[in-house]
Amino acid sequence: MPKSPLTEKGAERLRLLLAELKAVRRPQIIRAIAEARAHGDLSENAEYHAAREQQSFVEGRIGALESLLANAQIIDVAGIKAAPRIVFGATVDLLNMSSAKPVTYQIVGEEEADINLGLISVSSPIARALIGKEEGEVAGVNAPGGIIEYEIVSVRYI
């Protein structure tokens, strides 16, 4: 199985999520199942079936996170000396050339990507357009509405 790249921060976030699922969510669901069983007939007990469904989801997520972390290639972003070139782990300040709107993204592994936190997947169209470029260059991102051009204002590894 190929190793999935993760930043140290992303791996820590996933470890915390895994710990929460095991220590908090799993016991909550076990209690909910026990309460639903106490109500009697399980064949028509919606609470029991909902709790079992939640249990299945949480156990699947736990397994997926454990597998991901076991097979991850954890990369120390602060140790990367690629600046001003953009590679995995770079935090990039961009300027949208058409709207003059500044944005900041960090290029991370697929499993830790979260656009709301400014974390974009290394395989996303924006990241693919940025990788290999340097400060001052313009990257064209192929978007559904056409090509969006971003000027690379700064590149840092933190």
Helix (H, G, I), strand (E, B) or coil at 85: strand
Reported as type and span, the H/E element at residue 151 is strand 146-156
Whether the full predicted model's pTM is greater than 0.85, yes or no, is: no
Q: How many helices (H) and strands (E) does the chain have?
A: 4, 7
Q: What percentage of the chain carries pLDDT values higher than 90?
A: 75
Q: Return the half-sphere exposure (C-beta side, CA atoms, 13 A cut-off) of residue 16.
A: 7
Confidence tier at 81 by pLDDT (50, 70, 90): confident
List the domains of the chain with CATH numbers. 4-75 (1.10.287.180), 77-156 (3.10.50.30)
pLDDT surpassing 80 at residue 75 = yes
Look at strands 119-121 and 138-143 and give their pairing.
Answer: unpaired
Q: Say if CB 127 and CB 107 are below 8 A apart.
A: yes
C-alpha–C-alpha distance, residues 131 and 121, integer Å? 12
Mean pLDDT of 67-93: 91
Q: Which amino acid makes up residue 143?
A: A
pLDDT in tens, 4-59: 899 999 999 999 999 999 999 999 999 999 988 887 777 777 888 899 999 999 99
Distances (CA, A) of 66 to 12, 18, 19, 117: 13, 8, 10, 23
Reported as type and span, the H/E element at residue 157 is none
pLDDT attached to residue 1:
59
Selection from 8, 12, 2 nearest residue 106 by Cα:
8
C-alpha–C-alpha distance, residues 14 and 114, integer Å? 12
- Positive or negative CA dihedral for 31, 32, 34, 35? positive
Q: Which amino acid makes up residue 116?
A: N
